[in-house]
Amino acid sequence: MTSSPAVGRRILFVHAHPDDESIGTGATMAYYAAAGAHVTLVTCTLGEEGEIHRPELAQLAAGQADQLGGYRIVELERACAALGVTDHRFLGGAGRYRDSGMMGAPTNEHPRAFWRADVAAAAAELLEVIREVRPQVLVTYDENGFYGHPDHIQAHRVAMRAAALADGERIGPDKIYFTAVPRRVLMDGMDAFARSSDNPFGDVHDVNELPFGSPDGDIAARIDATDVGGRKEAALRAHATQIPADSWLYVVAGRYGREFMGVEYYTLAAGARGPGGGPNDWESDLFAGLPAEPRELSPAP
């Protein structure tokens, strides 16, 4: 699902599996799509190793028919439609790289596992997208893949290598952001759910035990997309094999609604921080500080 980029603001999201885009950056993607920016999503695998929360589809699992990846292509198409995103690509084409499963799992050794991919070769494939789209802003994960999943870590490596290659051609993004959640937000969530049977934190009671979470001082941007938060929830529901109808995500959304679904946070990995506001001076726009009239597209060197 692709379309040629129009002149105007352009932003590229690089994610590991179908549903990562909706969970981590769905509100932001919907926000910029609704604002008329050209939003491009690159997904690195089909998510073949994901759990299946629809019993009637259980036999699609990797250990049986191994058809889950193909099914998730359709789920991702529906999610993108809900978000208003019309430019979606799979890195190297659908099926080029396989979901590696969790860190240390035997599936890490699959010949097509993304974790085993040659970073330079994969980055060259992403560079082709950058040459075409010329994004001013790139969004991906930090060096830990946000929470340590091997495919997320590899997506970070590939995205950063591709951005460096693009810089060498003078077509690199002006700003690079990593997905993030402030520790304060996590602490508030832990307090709210401490005595709840719907506790998404399980047995974890100390925010420092979580494999993610950033100090407020590390956060650079807070995107308030509450006006389009419903699109994020619709996108999550499109990923029905992965996110069951009784998921804690919807439980939290039912309690906190617009802010939970519509607010997302980022750290700034490259580029100059733009003007912000509020008590933390956080940016409210990932294009903050960039020219109002972006550079015209021109042939790559």
10-182+219-270 homologous superfamily: LmbE-like (3.40.50.10320)
Q: Under a CB-based contact definition with an 8 Å cutoff, are residues 141 and 178 in contact?
A: yes
- CA dist 216 and 131 (Å) reads 34
**AA identity, residue 45:** T
Residue 193 in tokens: 């759910």
Q: Under a CB-based contact definition with an 8 Å cutoff, are residues 223 and 267 in contact?
A: no
Give the per-residue pLDDT at 1. 47
Give the per-residue pLDDT at 187. 76
The DSSP-derived string for the chain is ---PPPSS-EEEEEESSTTHHHHHHHHHHHHHHHTT-EEEEEE----TT-----GGGGGGSTTTT--HHHHHHHHHHHHHHHHT--EEEETTSTTSSB---STT-GGGGSTTBGGGS-HHHHHHHHHHHHHHH--SEEEE--TTTTT--HHHHHHHHHHHHHHHHHHHTT---SEEEEEE-BHHHHHHHHHHHTT-TT-TTTT---GGGSS--B-GGG--EEEE-GGGHHHHHHHHHH-TTTS-TT-HHHHHHHHHHHHHHHEEEEEEEES-----BTTTTBBS-TTTTS-SSPPPP----
Q: Under a CB-based contact definition with an 8 Å cutoff, are residues 122 and 92 in contact?
A: yes
Give the per-residue pLDDT at 202. 60
- CA dist 250 and 248 (Å) reads 5
- CA dist 245 and 247 (Å) reads 6
Model pTM? 0.91
Give the per-residue pLDDT at 204. 55
Give the per-residue pLDDT at 2. 44
> So where are the chain's domains?
10-182+219-270
pLDDT digit of tens for each residue in the chain (301 aa)? 444 444 589 999 999 999 999 999 999 999 999 999 999 999 999 999 999 999 999 999 999 999 999 999 999 999 999 999 999 999 999 999 999 999 999 999 999 999 999 999 999 999 999 999 999 999 999 999 998 999 999 999 999 999 999 999 999 999 999 999 998 887 776 666 655 555 565 665 566 766 778 888 999 999 999 999 899 999 999 999 999 988 877 777 666 656 778 999 999 999 999 999 998 999 999 999 998 766 555 555 5
- CA dist 221 and 180 (Å) reads 9
Q: Under a CB-based contact definition with an 8 Å cutoff, are residues 39 and 26 in contact?
A: no
How many C-alpha atoms does 60 have within 13 Å on its Cβ side? 19
Give the per-residue pLDDT at 258. 66
Torsion of CA 53, 81, 234, 47, to 10 degrees: 30
Q: Under a CB-based contact definition with an 8 Å cutoff, are residues 300 and 131 in contact?
A: yes
